[in-house]
Amino acid sequence: MNPIISAASVTAAALTVGLAAIGSGIGQGNAAGQAVEGIARQLSSPVLASETSPHWTYGGETNPTQWGRLSHDFASCDVGRDQSPVDIDHVILGSPAAIEFNYAPTPLTVVNTGHTIQVNYEAGSHVTIDGKTYELVQFHFHTPSEHTIDGQAAAMELHLVHQNSAGELAVVGILINVGAENPAIAPIWDHIPAPGETNTVEGLTINAADFLPGNTSYYSYAGSLTTPPCSEGVRWNVLAEPIELSEEQVAAFAALYPVNARPVQPTNGRVIELHAAE
Ligand SMILES: [Zn+2]
């Protein structure tokens, strides 16, 4: 058996295997959600703060190659061995598994962090990955995609950031291609505040479940935050099936943030596994 295979060659097979799982992973909140309710609300944690100091950028003198030198707190950006994002190239077929998504609507709160557009999430929505439950804290966007597949970037990438009661982070990444208009994005794009500001929108809710593709087969690997302080110990899960935004919807984000993606980092021998939804 040859466990090392190209990501592109196995993706189609995995998606076929996983088609039967469409919809089954999305359900209502349950008792597990109640158990972890209340954690991860404190966004003062340095790993989840929407802004960190000193100032860092995607271009110019404080670009990603310099992040590790900007602050002692950012040292992992330079010396970390398990950094994100990565190119998803050679993957190993892992055990068949699906991420169990239990997302509920949340009041719409849009933050323009100065680095991305972020939607904060109230307690009560979570994912279960490999038997561990993580609460959804926020989601945000990058352009172009941070993760690449066989060297190819997508137009954008959505990051759903979760944390468990032990403070461990699990991020679900969803690649976004240019295609059909996506109605789920409109309420967010329509309520973007000025940089550094938060817009709490009265009377509107949003459900992150509306961004999930039908198939939740995913690539998993051990990585880091893709922004300073580049903290490691982040459980990464990149869905194999992309979603779509229209050209206009991608352009609306790129008008604010033309490039907010960290380049791919060396894998340093890390294994990327593909888990096909059953
Ligand atoms: Zn991100």
182, 244 contact by CB (below 8 A)? yes
| Ligand 1 centroid from CA 141, angstroms | 6
Q: How high is the pLDDT of residue 40?
A: 35
Tell me which residue of 275, 267, 20, 30 sits closest to 129, measured CA to CA.
275
Q: How high is the pLDDT of residue 42?
A: 33
Q: How high is the pLDDT of residue 7?
A: 54
Could you give the C-alpha distances from 74 to 45, 263, 270, in angstroms and in order?
A: 15, 16, 22
Q: How high is the pLDDT of residue 98?
A: 85
List 109, 128, 226, 227, catalytic entry: 226
Q: How high is the pLDDT of residue 54?
A: 87
Q: How high is the pLDDT of residue 19?
A: 30
| Ligand 1 centroid from CA 2, angstroms | 33
List 142, 147, 162, 275, catalytic entry: 142
| Ligand 1 centroid from CA 234, angstroms | 12
Compute the distance between CA of residue 82 and CA of residue 232 in angstroms, rounded to an integer: 6
pTM over 0.75, yes/no? yes
Assess whether 122 carries a catalytic annotation.
no
Sheet holding 148-149, edge to edge: 87-88, 148-149, 152-153
Residues, the chain, total? 278
| Ligand 1 centroid from CA 243, angstroms | 16
Tell me which residue of 125, 124, 126, 128 sits closest to 98, measured CA to CA.
128
Dihedral angle computed from the Cα positions of residues 3, 6, 9 and 11, in that order, rounded to the nearest 10 degrees: 90
Q: How high is the pLDDT of residue 27?
A: 33
Tell me which residue of 234, 226, 241 sits closest to 141, measured CA to CA.
226
Q: Can you list the residues of the chain whose pLDDT is less than 70?
A: 1-52
Compute the distance between CA of residue 278 and CA of residue 272 in angstroms, rounded to an integer: 19
